């Protein structure tokens, strides 16, 4: 405690030694710090009241809730005739339980009341989500006004914004209704069409992208198709949807493949698909070769051996006969009808040869029965436009500005090798088949980025302007701090010189008084002094002796006198 008191005394003495300007600066700084602490404490102080329901209540719900809370003797407060506040979280849970027990549950449908209370920390994404919810809530509120609908739920997927309009998918909506008792809305096409038109015009969605379903799982919107189009037109619409879906899948596949190496704002991808819609059933009896030796996949050449047919049986007959084995003769006792001498010659000139080889082969057959799908892809055409890279020219850490006040940029177009690599990536992504007639084109196109650059230039210049202002502010503060230090040094020197001058003047006056006293004593003059003058003289002599013995204490006393003046 003594050390703390000593520290406070030293701090107070140093504060008293400061000039008036420094005292004002220190006092203002202390007041600003105290004020900031008070503001932070007041702002961060938790509220003692809690909201019974986080959303704003409708006038009907507000009246029912407040009336029932009054009957249940539950203390509450209201705000803006929309919100109900209770004392604590425990009372909140108790009140909600009692209200639910009494069958009072506020309608949770929220429309544009979501924007009645906004926080300054709300982001743009949260505002877009609230707008999405508000539009759906207003549509549900309007649909509930129809007598034939007891309850309704509208579901609209949150659509992600795409860079290019052609890549944007169409919005869709699903409406689930609970018809009122004894309502004919399930069979009334006019009422179903009214629901579809209301959702279509309220949420800006095409009518063909809206599905209306009842609580029993019946698709009520299908009743409108027969009145609008024939079966052929319906089939054509389905074919268009399938074709567009396949095109969109191809484009997204290409973009997802290339986005790992190229930013999406440098790409424009378009695709077209030629479809075949006829269904065929093909039956083929194929003769396939038999593989005798499989190919080795580790070698760069083909080592396989195939045979068109395989022998299953073989018969070989071989005869070799030279000359007749007998001479044809008639009945016994009858001479042969051969001239004399010929019989001997036949044995020398007659030969006989016979070669016969029979091989039975078996061929491999394959019976193929093929049934095509309802649709197939005949040909795929893909076109990809690639932009170059823009870089901001920098000098001394800041962007270079041209004579028109715009930021200078350098453009680097893609190389031929990059375009070839992109083309190969695209072919791999879409399953390129040259025999099918597929076509893939990758070209370099310089995009028009004037609007983008104007916005970027504005943001970049504003950023560097703020940076310059901050640097200038810091420099000014440093200069002011240095000037304050210089001012304090100058004031110390001025005070020191003043103190020395006053000490010198006091010393000279004391010397003059002593000289006068000595002269009076030598002359024997009798000086009559009053009591006050004698006391003052004694005090002066004590001070002079103290100054001679302890000059540091005397200097401190004189400095205190000067600061007090």
> Which residue did the predictor score with more confidence, 344 or 240?
240
Q: Is 402 left (phi over 0), alpha (psi -120 to 50) or beta?
A: beta
The arithmetic mean of pLDDT across residues 289-302, rounded, is: 78
Q: Is the pLDDT of residue 43 over 60?
A: no
Kindly give the pairing relationship between strand 50-51 and strand 305-307. Answer: unpaired
Angle between helices 450-523 and 20-44 (to 10 degrees): 140
CA–centroid distance for 331 within its chain: 118
- Biggest CA pair distance of the chain: 223
Q: Is the pLDDT of residue 67 over 50?
A: yes
The arithmetic mean of pLDDT across residues 12-21, rounded, is: 72
Output the pLDDT for position 525: 46
Output the pLDDT for position 526: 47
Digit-coded pLDDT (tens) for 541-557: 777 777 777 777 777 77
> Against a cut of 0.85, is the pTM above it?
no
Give residue limits of the domains in the chain: 1-43, 50-102, 124-161+169-225, 283-328+345-369, 531-563
The arithmetic mean of pLDDT across residues 56-79, rounded, is: 84
- Residue 264 is given by DSSP the state G
CA distance 111 to 138: 5
The top-level CATH class assigned to 124-161+169-225 is: alpha beta
The arithmetic mean of pLDDT across residues 21-44, rounded, is: 68
Digit-coded pLDDT (tens) for 444-499: 888 887 888 788 778 877 887 888 888 888 998 998 999 988 998 898 888 888 88
Q: Is the pLDDT of residue 204 over 60?
A: yes
Nearest CA among 262, 318, 311, 314 for reference residue 290: 311
Residue 176 banded pLDDT, cuts 50, 70, 90: very high
Burial of 184 (0-12, 13-18, 19+ CB in 10 A): exposed
Q: What are the strands, taking DSSP E only, across 146-259?
A: 149-155, 173-179, 210-214
The arithmetic mean of pLDDT across residues 298-314, rounded, is: 76
Phi, psi of 103 (to 5 degrees): 80, 20
Those residues whose C-beta lies under 8 Å from the C-beta of residue 545, and which sit 6 or more positions away, are: none
- Give the range with max mean pLDDT: 191-205, 228-242, 334-348, 519-533: 191-205
Digit-coded pLDDT (tens) for 392-418: 887 777 777 777 777 788 888 888 888
Residue 240 banded pLDDT, cuts 50, 70, 90: confident
CA distance 202 to 500: 90
Residue 175 banded pLDDT, cuts 50, 70, 90: very high
Could you tell me the end-to-end alpha-carbon distance of the chain, in angstroms, rounded to an integer?
33
Q: What is the dihedral of CA 243, 245, 249, 252, to 10 degrees?
A: 110
Output the pLDDT for position 317: 80
Output the pLDDT for position 167: 65
């Amino acid at each position: 405690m003594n050390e703390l008191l000593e520290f406070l005394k030293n701090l107070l003495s140093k504060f008293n030694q400061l000039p008036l300007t420094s005292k004002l600066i220190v006092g203002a700084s202390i007041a600003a710090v105290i004020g900031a602490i008070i503001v932070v404490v007041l702002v961060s102080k938790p509220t003692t009241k809690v909201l019974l329901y986080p959303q704003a209540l409708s006038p009907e719900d507000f009246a029912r809730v407040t009336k029932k809370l009054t009957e249940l003797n539950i203390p509450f407060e209201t705000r803006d005739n929309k919100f109900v506040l209770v004392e604590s979280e425990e009372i909140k849970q108790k009140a909600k339980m009692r209200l639910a027990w009494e069958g009072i549950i506020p309608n949770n449908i929220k429309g544009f009341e979501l924007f009645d209370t906004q926080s300054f920390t709300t982001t743009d994404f949260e505002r877009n989500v609230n707008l999405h919810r508000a539009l759906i809530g207003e549509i549900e509120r309007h649909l509930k006004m129809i007598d034939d609908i007891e309850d309704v739920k509208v579901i609209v997927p949150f659509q992600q914004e795409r860079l290019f309009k052609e890549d944007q998918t169409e919005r869709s909506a699903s409406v689930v209704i609970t018809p009122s008792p004894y309502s004919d809305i399930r069979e009334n096409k006019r009422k179903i069409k009214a629901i579809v038109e209301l959702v279509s015009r309220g949420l800006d969605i095409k009518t063909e992208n809206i599905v209306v379903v009842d609580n029993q799982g019946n698709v009520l919107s299908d009743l409108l198709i027969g009145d609008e189009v024939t079966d052929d037109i319906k089939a054509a619409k389905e074919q268009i949807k399938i074709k567009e879906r396949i095109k969109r899948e191809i484009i997204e596949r290409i973009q997802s493949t290339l986005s790992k190496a190229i930013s999406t704002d440098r790409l424009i991808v378009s695709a077209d698909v030629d479809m075949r819609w006829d269904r065929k059933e093909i039956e083929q009896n194929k003769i396939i070769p038999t593989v005798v030796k499989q190919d080795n996949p580790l070698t760069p050449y083909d080592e396989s051996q195939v045979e068109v047919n395989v022998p299953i049986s073989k018969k070989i007959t071989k005869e070799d006969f030279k000359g007749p084995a007998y001479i044809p003769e008639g009945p016994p006792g009858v001479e042969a009808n051969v001239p004399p001498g010929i019989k001997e010659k036949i044995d020398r000139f007659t030969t006989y040869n016979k070669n016969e080889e029979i091989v039975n082969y078996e061929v491999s057959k394959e019976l193929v029965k093929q049934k095509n799908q309802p649709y197939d892809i005949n040909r795929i055409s893909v076109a990809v436009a690639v932009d170059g890279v823009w870089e901001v020219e920098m000098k001394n850490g800041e962007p270079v500005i041209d004579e028109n006040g715009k930021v200078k940029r350098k453009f680097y177009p893609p190389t031929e090798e990059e375009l070839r690599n992109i083309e190969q990536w695209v072919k791999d992504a879409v399953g390129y088949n040259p025999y099918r007639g597929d076509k893939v084109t990758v070209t370099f196109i310089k995009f028009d980025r004037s609007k983008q650059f104007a916005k970027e230039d504005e943001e970049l210049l504003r950023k560097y302007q703020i940076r310059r202002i901050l640097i200038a502010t810091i420099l000014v503060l440093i200069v002011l701090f240095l000037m304050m230090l210089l001012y304090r040094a100058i004031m110390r020197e001025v005070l020191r010189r003043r103190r020395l001058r006053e000490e010198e003047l006091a010393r000279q006056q004391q010397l003059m008084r002593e000289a006068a006293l000595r002269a009076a004593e030598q002359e024997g003059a009798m000086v009559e002094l009053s009591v006050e003058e004698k006391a003052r003289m004694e005090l002066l002599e004590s001070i002079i002796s103290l100054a001679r013995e302890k000059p540091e204490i005397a200097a401190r006393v004189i400095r205190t006198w000067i600061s007090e003046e």
